Structure 1
C-alpha cells in the first residue's frame, strides 16, 4: 500500500456521513442565500476588494459545487475535505472585514455579535476536516510514512 493509498482512505461512519451531509446543507443554503440576498453577502466582501459583486456571484457556484461534492464524493472525500476547509479559510478575511468595518448583515448588528461569529469560522474548518476523514487520513499517512522510514 502506497503513501497515497493510505492518505486517501477516509474513515467512514454514520456520524461522519451525517456531518458531511449537514455541512453540505450549510454550503448549499449559503449558495441559495447568495442568490436571494446578495446584499447580505456583499457585506462580507472587503470594501477595497475589486469586483465585489462578482465575488458574491461566483462564490454562489463554489458553495453549490462544494456542497454537492461533500454529498457525492466517495473515493475523494479526503481531498474534498481539504478543499472545503481551504474555502472556509479563504473567506475568513471577509468575516474579519465585516467585523472591522462594523457592517451589519445576517442579523449581526453589534461588535459582539460579529466577534462571536468570528469564533465559529474555525469550527467550520474543523467540521470539514473531521466529517470527510481528512485529519484521520493525514495522521494515518504520517504514521505509514514514519513506519516505512523506520523499516529502511
Structure 2
C-alpha cells in the first residue's frame, strides 16, 4: 500500500522520459500496436521491475489465503518471464480462529510490457493483467464485519 503512490509516480515519470506516454495513454487508452524503440526501454523496464518487487520472505506460504507462483514465459515480451500468483484455494478460506468462512480473492494489477508485433515487425508498449497475491475477505453478501 505504501509503495503504490511511489510506483505510480515512477512509472509515469519513466514513460514520460522515454517518450512512451502519449495523450491517448494519459486519457486511459492503451497504445495498442504503436512502435517504439526497444533498446531505450528494455533495460529501464527490467530495472524498474527488480526495484519494485519487494515481497516479504515466504509471505505466499504464511498467508491465510496461500498461493504459489507460476512462471509465464513469452519470448516475444519484455520481460520474457513473469511470475504470476495462483491461489491454492478457489472459493473459501478459514480465518485464524477457524470459525469464519472467508472468500479467497486474487489481487491483480496491470503492468507495462514490451511486445513484439509480428505484423508490423516492431515492438509496442502494452499492459498485461497479472495476479500478484491472494487474500481472504468477507463474502460480498455477508453482513459480518471485523
Name the TM tier (shorter chain).
Answer: 0.3 to 0.5
Asked which structure has the greater RCO (Cα within 8 Å, sep 6+), the reply is 1
More strand by share: 2
More helix by share: 1
Q: TM-score normalized by structure 1?
A: 0.32
Q: TM-score normalized by structure 2?
A: 0.33
